[in-house]
Structure 1
Amino acid sequence: MNANMRAAAPTEVLRYTAFSADPDGGNPAGVVLDASALDDAARLAVAAEVGYSETAFLTPAPQGTEGAPEGRAFTTRYFSPLAEVAFCGHATIATAVALGERIGPGELLFLTPAGPIPVTVVGGDGESGPRATLSSVEPHSEPVEDKDLTEALAALGWARGDLDPEIPPRIAFGGNDHLVLAVTSRERLGALDYDFERLKELMLRLGLTTLQLVWRESAGVFHVRDPFPVGGVREDPATGAAAAAFGGYARELGIVPEESRFTLHQGEDMGRPGELTVDLRAGDPRVHVSGTAARIG
């Protein structure tokens, strides 16, 4: 072997679960804090090998980036095992906590394909560990065409009578698009069993990242599930991007007050319970999604 030839250093991939202080709960994400040596093909290969719904890849933000805290701003991209994703909430929370453990709590800025995402990390209380809050891009929502709703329900095996008329179907955006469908019973949500390929085909046609399936327990508590076949994953255990999209949608339609805090429980039906906190602030168009994260050993 030529003495000038050296094997490439292995990529360090950290593994964290987001929206849970328990490594066996929440949604696992891969985190690569220095992806400078990886092109897109290599990043996709790493994400596929890790096998989580997303892996985040960081490089330092360009110098002079407006609003960037010194040494705490990063160009951030997200890859599922099948493709790049414009924005991923749980991988953002996982990455922010990983950085907080290394460079300390404080403000971060992630420059993502969906837009700039400010993140705040605060120290833990000794039990839950550090906690991160992401601030989404400005959300919006739009109606879903009736034929597309019919196809989504057919793929899910749901009937229109299963839907909650007070939480109408819409496509909600908070960095990427999610179809919101709410049901009237916890049992209907818990019995999720869908046609993977049929739903994937519809989602690819509509440009959806996940479906945000919802049951409202009370004014401030919702249970959600997120099929993610376009990422090669049957279900996402805790979905921060969908939480941001749902927060904007819920405010826009008056389902929650303009200024409010509510909780999303996700992953219980998968045996990976997680908790996402959504904050809406009067006069602030962004949606703020908070959660803990834990290192997976």
Structure 2
Amino acid sequence: MSDPKTTTTPAAAAAAAADVRLTAEVLHYTAFTTSPTGGNGAGVVLDASRLDDEAMVAIAAELGYSESAFVTPGPDPEADRSFTLRFFSPKAEVGFCGHATIATAVALGERLGEGDFALHTAAGQVPVSVREEGGVMKATLTSVTPHVDDVAAEDVTEALAALGWRAEELDALLPPRIAFAGVRHLVLAAATRERLADLDYDFDRLLELMRRLDLTTVQLVWRESETVFHVRDPFPVGGVVEDAATGAAAAAFGAYARELALVPADARLTLHQGHDMGRPSLLEVTLRAHDPRVRVTGTALALPQG
């Protein structure tokens, strides 16, 4: 007969194993790619319970990634596979970050196994599923409920001035809007691939506008076909000139495309990002007719430590 004082239930054993595998070490991942030379890098700390805000922003600044993710137990200690997730750029906390969410989900999946996770962020709960496909771990995040708002003409004019773009270089079929799926992004569509490729903007001027409008990135877009887009994301509010892959903006853009009826109610969009900065990334966006939320799917790859 087993001693009741030493008997370990399967759930307790799994929890103990998880405690061992959820390390306080800073892990390095690149998201939305299967190549170490592509995607968007993120630091991931799977056990940040002993870190305060000052320590987290210091780690993010030292790493220099556009964002890094810090994981602590979820709000319900009895809930399985539930975690709280916070994001820091090199300068400050960010309400939501898609690429660091994908990186974190893959890191959790590699340690705890495939399945569904409930990730609690400042923007709200973000369900994430992790599956292995062809030997590669892929994660799909489901955004908070998005919305799309008009943007004042004078703010568009100021954004174009900061970018060095002319109004006639915009695609009239994709009008400027502010899209939200956890954080706010100004969507501006270039009429040509050449205009999108030539990005040389006034960092301080765009930063000032973005702070005033509470924007996280400016999502610059060129439409290749009905469901294929090329995107670039200036990110001066995070102290970064450009993001190589922006999951939060991809979710917001999915909401934008649906709101403006640019795509069918049920649609799968492909977003290419990072090519112009030598960090090619692939983001898959799924829209469902009867669910306002947007799903963003991508891979993530662990990088060598140090």
Q: Distance in 1 between matches of 2:37 and 2:44?
A: 17
Match of 1:153 in 2: 160
Q: In the alignment, does 2:40 pair up with 1:33?
A: no
Q: What is the Cα deviation at residue 220 of structure 1?
A: 1.2
Q: In the alignment, does 2:250 pair up with 1:243?
A: yes
Question: Partner amino acid for 2:203?
Answer: F
Question: Partner amino acid for 1:292?
Answer: T
Q: In the alignment, does 2:110 pair up with 1:97?
A: no
Q: Distance in 2 between matches of 1:92 and 1:231?
A: 17
Q: How does 1:69-148 map to 2 (within 5 A)?
A: 70=80, 72-126=81-135, 129-148=136-155
Q: What is the Cα deviation at residue 11 of structure 1?
A: 4.8
Gap runs ≥5 in structure 1: 1-9
Q: In the alignment, does 2:67 pair up with 1:60?
A: no
Q: How does 1:253-272 map to 2 (within 5 A)?
A: 253-272=260-279
Q: How does 1:217-296 map to 2 (within 5 A)?
A: 217-296=224-303
Q: Distance in 2 between matches of 1:131 and 1:64?
A: 26
Q: Distance in 1 between matches of 2:163 and 2:48?
A: 38
Match of 1:194 in 2: 201
State the 4+ residue runs in structure 1 displaced beyond 3 angstroms: none
Q: What is the Cα deviation at residue 296 of structure 1?
A: 1.1
Question: Partner amino acid for 1:146?
Answer: A
| Equivalent residues of 2:44, 2:104 under 8 A apart | yes
Q: Distance in 1 between matches of 2:33 and 2:290?
A: 30
Q: Distance in 1 between matches of 2:144 and 2:76?
A: 22
Q: What is the Cα deviation at residue 62 of structure 1?
A: 2.4
Question: What percent of counterpart residues are identical?
Answer: 66
Match of 2:28 in 1: 15
Q: Distance in 2 between matches of 1:124 and 1:60?
A: 28
Gap runs ≥5 in structure 2: 1-22
Q: Distance in 1 between matches of 2:100 and 2:59?
A: 15
Q: Distance in 2 between matches of 1:105 and 1:123?
A: 7
Q: Distance in 1 between matches of 2:148 and 2:199?
A: 24
Match of 1:5 in 2: none
Q: What is the Cα deviation at residue 123 of structure 1?
A: 1.1
| Equivalent residues of 2:251, 2:294 under 8 A apart | yes
Q: TM-score if structure 2 supplies the norm length?
A: 0.91
Q: In the alignment, does 2:211 pair up with 1:204?
A: yes
Instruction: Tell me the number of residue pairs that the alignment of Structure 1 and Structure 2 aligns.
Output: 282
Q: What is the Cα deviation at residue 191 of structure 1?
A: 0.3
Residue 285 of structure 1 aligns to a residue whose secondary structure is: strand
Could you report, residue by residue, the CA deviation over 1:176-206 in whole angstroms, capped at 9, with x for unpaired residues? 0000000110000000110000000100011
Q: Distance in 1 between matches of 2:165 and 2:133?
A: 41
Could you report, residue by residue, the CA deviation over 1:221-248 in whole angstroms, capped at 9, with x for unpaired residues? 0000000000000000000000000001
Q: Distance in 2 between matches of 1:185 and 1:94?
A: 32
- Structure number with greater Rg is 2
| Equivalent residues of 2:24, 2:46 under 8 A apart | no
Could you report, residue by residue, the CA deviation over 1:129-162 in whole angstroms, capped at 9, with x for unpaired residues? 1000000001111111111111000000000000
Q: Distance in 2 between matches of 1:198 and 1:145?
A: 17
| Equivalent residues of 2:283, 2:296 under 8 A apart | yes
Q: Distance in 2 between matches of 1:179 and 1:255?
A: 17
Match of 2:18 in 1: none
Q: TM-score if structure 1 supplies the norm length?
A: 0.93
